[in-house]
Amino acid sequence: MFEKIKSGMLVFLIVSSMFLTYRLWFGQPPLEKESEPHYEEVFFTAPPVSSRIIQPAQIIFYDNDRGIHLYRRGSRGFDRLWSKSLNIIKENVELNNAKNISKSDLEGLTATFSSRLVYNFEPSMPLMFMTGTSVFEDITFEGAVFLWDEELVYVIFVGEENFLLPLGRTEDLQRVLLPVLDNPHKLLPPAIELALPRDEDNKDGVKNEAGEGDEKEADDIGIAPGDGGDIKDSNEQQLSWEIETRGEIFVPEGEIRVAEVRLKEEKIDREQLVRAFFIDLSLARLIEERDGALYYTDGEKGLRIYPSGLVEFSFPRLDRNLGNISYSLVLQKGAESLSLYGGWPSGAYLEEAENRGRGRGYRLLWGTNHKGLAFEGEQIGCEMEINNQGVLFYRRNIYLAEEDIPGEMPFRPYEEALYQVISLNEQYFKENTPVLLALEPVYYIPPAEKVEKAIPAWSVHFQGMEKKYLHWVTLDPL
Amino acid sequence: MDLSKAKTVLIITFLFLNIFLLYQIMEDEGRGRLGSFGRNEELSRLEIALHEVNLSLDVPLPKGGMQVAHLVVEPFQFQVEDIIGELWKLFGGLNNVGISAVEEAFGEEEDGERGFTKYTLGKYEMIVRKEGPVSIKTTGESDSHYRNNNNSNKNSMEGIVQSAQESIQGISFLSSFIYDYTQKSQKGPVLNFRQEYDGFPLYAGYFQLFMRGLEPEGCYLYCLEPVGFAEQKREVIPPTTALLRLIDAYKGGALETGIIDFSLGYYSQEYDAERWEIPPVWRIRLDNGEVYYINAFTGNLER
């Protein structure tokens, strides 16, 4: 019996010594524990394909007989035109057949052909996004011009270098390329003489076409006697200004009838949004700020969600590690990040891509539109700063259009809008020649704690000053 | 040798072996000394890294492996008239004067741009900031009519700390503060008190008392109201990882500096907010007065 106990004790001691040896050798965790990162990227919306990352800013049809027809992003016919042209290019472009042409050759060709279809890209489009090949990876272009004669259709990619390529037979492609000609515009000349008659009967400088609303006294819009070279004596019936235009500025020939549009805030799943920025939610701590904003931070990066729906994110540490990143890669990463951080807003387009220089990456700006008119205003749209490390800054403030508010009215003539801006800044323009950089009809979203509607407006941009927005009916500054 | 004797010898041998192995295992777990076979090399690396920046670990490594969550806090809401009299007693002035008399004696300046309110009485001024911190400081030389401590050890550090603790215990909003440590300054010792919640030090809530001898010369108060822990728990980084993060952040000096305190608590900067979450931190205090807070989830240095 005693021997059995001894045997049992010996076996126990042997087994326990093996266990203790194992515990001593392997049982202690390493001083620094590593855990495999586990996260999932959940996109709010699928990232767009490369060819959809950038849209043309304008599609312009020129014809000697039928005039100029212009299509802005979101306007009727724009998406169809753009899709068809993309498909034609993808299916028919053979880059081996590309012929490098000079600027003078380009000008000669556009003068020779009686009609052409021009796609203007701003920001510029990487060639590989349109062709689907990476043969000319670093080449970008600002325009694509479609030309056709009786036999062949050609495309010219316009940029630092110009490439002419044949696409196919005119009889096969022309009817696909041609737009519905329902959007006549005219090109402003390099110099405009802006003169508005002064009505002696009611002494109004600017009339309201609908006959209602405010009628401005001449003094209210700043018509004043002066000694500027372009202003005539106030006793005379006409006051005129000479305006220079820079670049191609198109204005609609027909009437644009619009109404104010009711807006609603974009609704984003807050938890999904926070998880998109913070790999592990348990690392992010929440601060409920006094203005109602929620601020999430892990000490290195921060995400702030305002009660108005505005979202701001910053990760300053990424700005310290400089490195180069190609333009096309930035566009792809930017599109993926936008899809990840809230989703690609409906109708959104890339409006601006600015190189921040010195290896600091790019600043990207996306906008949205409604019925072909861009939404503009303070901090509207999506802004992103991105470099080779990732997204270091992101701001998102998107409003969605609901229904039009009753009260459709036509836009006041563009001449009156120009005159109004000049009148309101008369002193400046007495000392500086008015140089018009941009003029277009937009929807303006006024800054407010709670935004309810967007107002149609003329967006007028003169050199030397910020953009001015004028109410589309009263021409009051917004 | 017969089998029975062999068994006896083996039993004794394995018994000694097991005792030795147990001793080694106990030595390893949380003692911070030279450890077992598998961790020797890692600990040596750590010691070398500390030595390279002239740091030495003068306290045992704390235990890690805990699962904790963020701590939710709110700012301590107070009316100035409720605290001003209480704090004033600490400085021995207007000892038996009622609140209304105190208010009358105060002038008030408000500077909206700088976000604080200043109250002055005689040689003291009190500043209340909108984020919550309250500070009192003297603007002139100390006055002899302020009370003296009759403790027989009145000039010893223990006596100073004891006197201060007795004083603050009598103040309602300070009664939960616990003595933490003392710093030395040119003018005199600075006593640091901290808050606690559910057994965890809350370093973010603190009370500093600036002493000149037995006489408090000024104070700095930042008080928080703990609400509770967040739902999601997470394991903290090992203390050795926190040490390595400290080594990255530490600027170093010519003289060897000792780590005299290494503990887990909660800390964040001051916020002007309705409510916020505070992360757990490894607080590492050096004998030169520097204090570092390493986020116990991310390993980042909290400022």
Of A413, A414, A398, A412, the closest CA to residue A454 belongs to: A398
Query: Rounded to a whole number, what is the distance in angstroms from the first to the last CA of chain A?
Result: 104
Residue A221 identity: I
CA angle B155, B160, B165 (to 5 degrees): 160
> Per-residue DSSP letters for A131-193?
HS--TTTT-EEEEEEEEE-SSEEEEEEEESSEEEEEEEEHHHHHHHHPPP---EEEEPPSEEE
pTM over 0.95: no
Provide long-range contacts, Cβ within 8 A and 24+ apart, for A99-102.
A99/A163, A99/A164, A99/A165, A100/A161, A100/A162, A100/A163, A100/A164, A101/A156, A101/A162, A101/A163, A101/A164, A102/A162
For this complex, say whether ipTM is above 0.85: no
Residue B170 carries which side chain, given as an amino acid letter? G
Pick from A104, A89, A190: which is nearest to A146 by CA? A89
* Start-to-end Cα distance in chain B: 71
Whether A314 has a pLDDT exceeding 90, the answer reads: yes
Distance of alpha carbon A174 from its chain centroid, rounded?
30
Tell me how far apart the alpha carbons of residues A228 and A423 are, in angstroms, rounded to a whole number: 13
Residue A366, pLDDT above cutoff 60: yes
As a whole number, mean pLDDT of residues B250-259 equals 83
pLDDT for the residue numbered B86: 78
B38 contact residues in A (CB cutoff 8 A): 24-26, 28
Stronger pLDDT, B270 or A472, i.e. the higher one: A472
Q: Does A78 have pLDDT greater than 60?
A: yes
Q: Which residue has the tokens 């909108």?
A: B130
DSSP state, A25? H
Nearest to B37 among A3, A24, A299 (CB): A24
| Phi, psi for A268 (deg, rounded to 5) | -125, 140
| Mean pLDDT for the stretch of residues A113-119 | 89
Q: What is the pLDDT of residue A223?
A: 30
The span from the CA of A196 to the CA of A237, in Å, is: 9
Residues of chain B with C-beta less than 8 angstroms from the C-beta of A27: 25
Q: Distances in Å between the alpha carbon of B261 and those of B186, B193, B203, B285, B302?
A: 23, 15, 13, 5, 17
- Domain extents for chain A? 50-187, 191-258+405-471, 262-404
Tens of pLDDT, residues A409-430:
999 999 999 999 999 998 899 8
Mean pLDDT of A53-65: 91
Mean per-residue pLDDT for A341-369? 92
Tens of pLDDT, residues B108-135: 555 544 577 777 776 777 888 777 788 8
Query: DSSP code of A477?
Result: B
Q: In the prediction, which pLDDT does A279 show?
A: 76
Which residues in A lie closer than 8 A to residue B297 (C-beta atoms)? 282-283, 298
So what's the pLDDT on residue A58? 92
Going by C-alpha positions, the residue among A144, A125, A133, A117 that lies closest to residue A55 is A125
* Residue A95 or residue A307, greater confidence: A307
B253: helix, coil or strand?
A: coil
Predicted pLDDT at B29:
65
Architecture of domain A262-404: 2-Layer Sandwich (3.30)
Q: Is the pLDDT of residue A324 over 80?
A: yes
Residue A301 has pLDDT above 50, yes or no: yes
Token representation of residue A45: 């919306």
Name the residue with tokens 């107070």.
B78
Q: How far is B294 from chain A (nearest CA, A)?
A: 11
On the question of pLDDT at A432 being above 80, the answer is yes
The string of pLDDT tens digits covering residues B57-83 is: 888 888 888 899 999 999 988 877 777
pLDDT at A216 over 50: no
pLDDT at residue B188 greater than cutoff 50? yes
* Burial bucket for residue A448 (CB in 10 Å: 0-12, 13-18, 19+): exposed
Mean pLDDT for A262-278 is 90
Segment A329-341 shows an average pLDDT of 94
Mapping DSSP onto H, E and C, the string for A199-252 reads CCCCCEEECCCCCCCCCEEHHHHCCCCCCCCCCCCCCCCEEEEEEEECCCCEEE
pLDDT(B292) > 90: yes
Element (H, E) at A119: strand A115-126
Picking from A1, A21, A24 by the largest number of B CB atoms within 10 A of its own CB, the best residue to mutate is A24
Measured CA to CA, the distance from residue B166 to residue A3 in angstroms comes to 68
**What is the pLDDT at residue B185?**
79
Q: CB-based contact (8 Å) between A16 and chain B? A: yes
Spatial separation of the C-alpha atoms in residues B124 and A412, rounded to whole Å: 68
Structure-model confidence comparison of residues A66 and B83, the more confident one: A66
Q: Using CA atoms of A393, A394, A395, A401 in order, give the dihedral in degrees to the nearest 10.
A: 160
Mean pLDDT of B94-101: 47
Give A59-111 as a DSSP string: EEEEETTTEEEEEETTSTTHHHHHHHHHHHHHHH--GGG-EEE-HHHHHHHHH
In whole angstroms, what is the distance from residue A68 CA to residue A117 CA? 10
H/E stretch holding A435 reads: strand A435-444
Output the pLDDT for position B251: 78
As a CATH number, domain B77-222 is: 3.30.310.160
For residue range B218-254, list pLDDT tens digits in order: 889 999 999 999 988 999 999 999 999 999 888 777 7
pLDDT of residue B272: 86
Sign of the CA dihedral running B138, B142, B148, B149? positive
Q: How far apart are CA B177 and CA B207, in angstroms?
A: 8
Q: Are A376 and A367 in contact (CB under 8 A)?
A: yes
The arithmetic mean of pLDDT across residues A357-369, rounded, is 92
Q: Which amino acid is at A426?
A: E
Min Cα–Cα distance to chain B from A264, Å? 28
Q: Per-residue pLDDT tens for A272-284?
A: 999 999 978 888 9
From the list B211, B163, B204, the residue with the least C-alpha distance to B186 is B211
Q: Are A13 and B18 in contact (CB < 8 Å)?
A: yes
In B, minimum Cα distance to A34 occurs at B237
- CB pair distance less than 8 Å for B24 and A24: yes
pLDDT-derived band of residue A200, with 50, 70 and 90 as boundaries? Answer: very low
The string over B198-207, giving b where at least 16 C-beta atoms fall within 10 Å of a residue's C-beta and e elsewhere, is eebbbbbbbb
Contact B240 A13 (CB under 8 A): no
CB A432 within 8 A of CB A415: no
Amino acid identity of residue B183, one-letter, is Q
**CATH class of the structural domain B46-74+228-303:** mainly beta
Which residue type occupies B18?
N
Residue A226: pLDDT over 70:
no
pLDDT of residue A31: 55
Best residue of B50, B275, B277 to probe chain A, by most A CBs closer than 10 Å: B277
Closest approach of chain A CAs to the CA of B155, in angstroms? 43
The fraction of chain A above a pLDDT of 70, given in percent, is 87
CA pair distance A329, A324, nearest whole angstrom: 11
Residue that the structure tokens 């002007």 belong to: B272
Chain B partners within 8 Å of A316 (Cβ)? none
CA distance B11 to A251: 103
Give the minimum alpha-carbon distance from B72 to chain A in angstroms, rounded to a whole number: 9
Q: Using a CB-CB distance cutoff of 8 angstroms, which residues of chain B are in contact with residue A19?
A: none
pLDDT at A381: 94
Q: Are B116 and B130 a contacting pair, CB within 8 Å?
A: yes
- Interval A14-38 mean pLDDT: 73
Tell me: the pLDDT tens digits for B27-52? Answer: 776 554 434 444 566 677 888 888 88
Q: Is residue A309 classed exposed, middle or buried when 0-12, 13-18 and 19+ CB atoms within 10 A define those classes?
A: middle
- The pLDDT of residue B163: 79
Whether B139 shows a pLDDT value over 60: the answer reads yes
Rounded CA separation A154/A99 (Å): 11
Q: Please state which of the ranges A3-12, A29-38, A207-216 shows the lowest mean pLDDT.
A: A207-216
Banded model confidence at residue B97, pLDDT cuts 50, 70, 90: very low
Looking at residues A133-142, what average pLDDT do you find? 78
Asked whether the predicted pLDDT for residue A475 surpasses 70, the reply is yes
* A46 three-class SS: coil
Residue of A221 and A461 predicted with greater confidence:
A461
Residue A345: pLDDT above 70? yes
pLDDT of B34 reads 39
- Decide: A367 and A381 in contact? Cβ < 8 Å: yes
- Say whether pLDDT at B150 is over 80: no
Q: Which residue of B lies nearest to A281 if distances are taken between CA atoms?
A: B232
Of the candidates A407, A404, A425, A434, the residue with the CA atom closest to the CA atom of residue A470 = A425
Q: Is the pLDDT of residue B91 over 80?
A: no
Q: How far is CA A38 from CA A291, A296, A454, in A?
A: 34, 20, 43
- Band of pLDDT at residue A215, cut at 50, 70 and 90: very low
How is residue B48 written in tokens?
A: 């070398």
d(Cα A324, Cα A136) in Å, to the nearest integer? 19
Least confident among A6-20, A226-240, B63-77: A226-240
> What mean pLDDT, rounded, does chain A reach?
85
Q: Is the CB of A17 less than 8 angstroms away from the CB of B272?
A: no
Predicted local distance difference test score (pLDDT) of residue A222: 34
Q: Which pLDDT score is estimated for B107?
A: 46
Token pair, residue A92, equals 């028919």
Of A36, A35, A37, A40, nearest in space to A275 by CA: A40
Q: Rounded distance, CA B124 to CA B119, Å?
A: 8
